[in-house]
Chain A
Amino acid sequence: MSDSAAATRWWRWLALVPAAAILAAPFVANRVEPLIFGLPFLLAFITGWVLATSAIMALVFALDERADARAMRLRAAHTGPRA
């Protein structure tokens, strides 16, 4: 059961997005212009993805928590009558 639960947690793959973006930064964003909020483009790009990391991990965490709660309810429903 835990295997199928893990398989349906597709949102976990979202965590790869910021990691890939930060690692790609030197190849896709190695520029000075345009300055964004006064920061050179490369620094702004990395900074933006650091902020996005936090947002995306918050989403992953929230979805995981919801799935955990549901799994717990299901388990309670299964074991309930027997107990």
Chain B
Amino acid sequence: MILSLSLLGATLLLALGLCVSKSRNMSLEQWSVGGRGFGTMLVFLLLAGEIYTTFTFLGGSGWAYGKGAPAFYIIAYGSIAYIMSYWLLPAIWRRATEWRVVSQPEFFARAYNSRALGTVVALVSVIALIPYLVLQLKGLGIIVSESSYGAISNSVAIMIGTSAVVIYVVLAGIHGSAMTAAIKDVLVLVVVVGLGIALPFTLHGGIGPMFETIARERPDFLTLPATGLSPSWFVSTVLLTVCGFYMWPHTFGSVFSARDARVFKRNAVLMPLYQLILLFVFFVGFAALLSVPGLEGSDADLALLRITRETYGPLVVGIVGSAGLLTALVPGSMILMATATLLARTIKPTIDGVGGATITFARWLVPLVAGVALIFTFRGGDTLVTLLLMGYALVTQLFPSLLAALWPAMRVTAAGAMSGILAGVAVVGGVTLSGTTAATLFPSWPPYITDINIGVLALFVNVTTMFAVSRFARQPAFTPQPV
């Protein structure tokens, strides 16, 4: 226990130390794309490791453990999103370059010639980033309390973790440390691939025999169920996630930092392969299903760390915990800073670009945003995957207006785009807060309809409102005046 704790502490200090030294800084955009000036081989490793956030590390294994086959949606959506990116990202890039815009709200504001729309987009992003941040904080709590063998309780761990993230962000400023991110990428890659191979072999005689045992003991676990997380749920969730994939401020933002449009096409070829790294996370979850059964509900997220604890000594637990700590700390700090910057620019739009005043103001907002996230974190209950899907449902609402901006023939106006986004967000909010599903709304409908992800309903309301308002509330300026 002392050993694993001191490893965790050392990792934290190293991360903080590296960002103070500021040897190499990077922006949020650079974090989600390779451009950090490392060699080709290292970049390959880094991109592979980058797939792993707290979500994939704990949430992916947790869902494989708790739900089985529905977790496979995580490798399914990436491929389709990358296919889409081959045409979508160059189209965004060309306009952004022509308009000289460098952020998502600016892009929308310029495309629709409406500053108000830019503000709405920024606010939606901020609201969507909160569950994403809560996810990292929850993960942080789980990692620290599990790797300390329970010596540090979950809530104390979350408090310490959040303070660490806040300090990290305030020290590192608007940039994170590229070196910390690189260490995280390599460490987590080694840990997950290592565990994903070692656990099935040491505990269950190999990956094939492990699945044979699961097929025998839990035959329903390796296929999608007929109701609930059924095929309709799978397809609708994959499509929804694909629509939201590039709508996050950081994924959208990564478009602007590219040198030319061919980069996106080459990425569309390579990136699907990286998704396969997630298979190892599933192997860990399935190995845990057989060896440490009984974690219910959101406790399923503990699966990876619990099986590590049961199988190996404190040294391995400490290393795995350190990798986990970094997967929460690096993206967590980036998200926190992005949220604060978005807020700062929205509240004080007069301050242009990345001027010093915005950054100072953004830093003041960091503890505030962290505080809000903390409140939601302690409200508890949701698994990491549920939180991510909530963020996706929100951020996806920007997708129809983006497509309309790229495709002027759709004749969508600023008012239409704004009403569509707001209507969609209102549906997501209402549904999330009241815990509604399609099954509770339409109990008599067959499951293949009611299992459809409720986010699709929000998207439908969004698109309908967008077209209706664009058509019927056309501003006088757009219609020719009769003489």
A: which residues have CB within 8 A of B?
15, 18-19, 22-23, 25-27, 30-33, 35, 37-40, 42-43, 46-47, 49-51, 53-54, 57-58, 60-61, 64
What residues of B have a CB within 8 angstroms of the CB of A43 in the complex? 69, 72, 222, 279, 282
Other-chain contact of A42, B223, B230, B239, B270 (Cβ < 8 Å): B223
- Complex contacts, B206 vs chain A, CB 8 Å: 38
Q: Which of B208-216, B402-410, B473-481 contacts its partner? A: B208-216
Cβ-defined contact, A42 with B79, below 8 A: no
Q: What is the CA–CA distance of A53 and B85 in the complex, to the nearest angstrom?
A: 13
The contact of A35 among B211, B224, B279, by CB within 8 Å, is B211
Query: Which of B7-15, B171-179, B261-269, B331-339 sits within the interface?
Result: B261-269
With contacts A30-B223, A43-B222, A50-B75 known, is A64 near B231, CB below 8 A? no
Which of B72, B208, B238 has most chain A Cβ within 10 Å?
B72
- Docked pose: A31 CA to B206 CA in angstroms: 21
- Give the distance to chain B from A32, nearest Cβ to Cβ, in Å: 5
**Does B399 count as interface, using CB distance less than 8 angstroms?**
no
A2 CB, min distance to chain B CBs, angstroms: 13
Q: Do B238 and A22 have beta carbons less than 8 Å apart? A: yes
In the complex, the answer to whether A26 meets B83 with C-beta atoms within 8 Å is no
Neighbour of B79 across the interface among A35, A50, A60, CB < 8 A? A50
Q: Which residues of B contact A60 (CB under 8 A)?
A: 86
Which of these, A23, A51, A61, contacts B235 with CB under 8 Å? A23
Contact, CB under 8 Å: B72 / A42:
yes
B208 CB contacts on chain A under 8 angstroms = 35, 37-38
Q: How far is the CA of A3 from the CA of B417 in the complex (A)?
A: 29
The count of A-to-B residue pairs whose CB atoms sit within 8 angstroms is 105
CB-CB nearest 9 A-B residue pairs:
A38-B208, A26-B231, A40-B222, A53-B79, A53-B272, A38-B207, A54-B272, A57-B269, A32-B222
Given A40-B211, A50-B79, answer yes or no on A27-B231 (Cβ-Cβ < 8 Å).
Answer: yes
Of A15, A27, A54, most B-chain CB atoms within 10 Å:
A54
Residues of B within 8 A of A58 (CB): 269
Complex Cα–Cα for A49 and B76 (A) = 9
B80 contacts the other chain (Cβ, under 8 Å)? yes
A40-B208 Cα distance, complex, nearest whole Å: 9
Q: Which of B69, B72, B83 contacts A53 (CB 8 A)?
A: B83
Using known A-B contacts A22-B238, A23-B80, A26-B235, determine if residue A50 contacts B219 with beta carbons closer than 8 Å: no
Q: A35-B211, A54-B273 are known contacts. Are A22 and B76 too (CB-CB below 8 A)?
A: yes
Q: Say yes or no: is B112 at the interface (Cβ < 8 Å to chain A).
A: no
Q: Find the residue from A31, A39, A57, A61 having the highest chain B CB count within 10 A.
A: A57
CB distance from A15 to the nearest CB of B (A): 5
A25 B76 Cβ-Cβ under 8 A: yes
Contact between chains at A23 and B239 (CB < 8 Å)? yes
Interchain CB contact under 8 A, A57 and B69: no
**Chain B residues, Cβ within 8 Å of A54:** 269-270, 272-273
Contact across chains for A35 and B212 when beta carbons are under 8 A apart: yes
Chain A minimum-CB-distance residue to B279:
A47
CB-CB < 8 A to A61: which residues of B?
86, 265-266, 268-269
CB of B275 within 8 Å of the partner chain? yes
Closest residue of A by beta carbon distance from B85: A57
Residues B269 and A15 in contact, CB atoms below 8 Å apart: no
Contacting A at CB under 8 A, from B212-244, are 212, 214-215, 219, 222-224, 230-231, 234-235, 238-239
Tell me the nearest residue of chain B to A31, going by C-beta. Answer: B223
Residue of B nearest to A39 (CB): B211
Contacts of A50 in B (CB 8 A): 75-76, 78-79, 272-273, 275-276
Give the distance to chain A from B239, nearest Cβ to Cβ, in Å.
Answer: 7
CA separation between A44 and B31, bound complex, in Å? 31
Smallest CB-CB separation from A33: which chain B residue? B215
- B210 nearest in chain A by CB position: A38
CA distance A27 to B82 in the complex (A): 22
A3 to chain B, nearest CB (A): 14
Question: Are A57 and B224 interface neighbours, CB within 8 A?
Answer: no
Contact pattern, B 47-88, Cβ under 8 Å of A = 1, otherwise 0: 000000000000000000000010010011011101100100
Q: Is the CB of A30 within 8 A of B224?
A: yes
Residue contact A49 to B79, C-beta cutoff 8 Å: yes
How far apart sit A27 and B265, CA to CA, in the bound complex (Å)? Answer: 30
